[in-house]
Chain A
Amino acid sequence: QSVLTQPPSVSGAPGQRVTMSCTGSSSNIGAGYDVQWYQQLPGTAPKLLIYGNTNRPSGVPDRFSGSKSGTSASLAITGLQDEDEAAYYCQSYDSSLSGWVFGGGTKLTVL
């Protein structure tokens, strides 16, 4: 049972927009701690996609965007492409655990 809750799967057709959520609590996202998002392609290590809730590292396309409100965060992907098919994980800090926590991951399927 992950501290941050993500839907197990989402899907969309090429070119469409998809969003996925990350729900936390008052000891993590709701406490104001930053949310990061990672993309994990099959058989590879996770890659940083979004940091500080809304910031993209250099090299990450602007099709990817993050937002945060209250105890939740969201990742949006526009202009969906086949290569976006991957698992996406959110991550934050939790003051109750005094450590970093992840969501269980959302598997994105491009139809």
Chain B
Amino acid sequence: QVQLQESGPGLVKPSQTLSLTCTVSGGSISSDNYYWTWIRQHPGKGLEWIAYIYYTGRTYYNPSLNSRLTISVDTSKNQFSLNLGSLTAADTAVYFCARVHDSPYSARFDPWGQGTLVTVSS
């Protein structure tokens, strides 16, 4: 059974870069059948899709975050990572990683990691 686990700093200063890693266990990140994605949830709010990556390194970013984002994959470690730059308080959120089934047009997210709270504050 595939499990995902986010890791990274809980507190980051404004203007700095956030780096998060998602470790996949119980399955290979190099599967042809799946994409891998990051999603965030602002406190008390809804969900916002951030970006996805395929094990080959192919990526797609949310256009509203594109200029500040980099997502990468390390197949040797069965991990994928998120870098989000020029942080502001508006980036304070719980960040989830998830596995993506099916094509982008019919994609579903399952399973999800437990999420990690990132607070942007000086």
Other-chain residue from A57, A89, A100, A104 in contact with B107 (beta carbon distance below 8 A):
A100
Interface size on A, residues (CB 8 A): 25
Tell me which of B9-17, B23-31, B44-52, B78-86 binds A.
B44-52
Tell me which of A10-18, A32-40, A71-79 binds B.
A32-40
Please indicate the chain B residues that have their CB under 8 angstroms from the CB of A99 in the complex.
Answer: 49, 60, 62-63
Please indicate the chain A residues that have their CB under 8 angstroms from the CB of B101 in the complex.
Answer: 51
Closest to A6 in B: B46
Interface size on B, residues (CB 8 A): 23
Residues in B78-122 with C-beta less than 8 Å from chain A:
96, 101, 104-115
* Inter-subunit contact A93/B104 (CB<8 Å): yes
Complex: how many Å from CA A36 to CA B47?
A: 13
* Inter-subunit contact A101/B105 (CB<8 Å): no
Q: Beyond A93-B104, A93-B106, A97-B63, is A102–B49 a contact (Cβ under 8 Å)?
A: yes
Chain B residues proximal to chain A, CB less than 8 Å: 37, 45-49, 60, 62-63, 96, 101, 104-115
Chain A residues proximal to chain B, CB less than 8 Å: 2, 33-34, 36, 38, 44-48, 51-52, 57, 89, 91, 93, 97-105
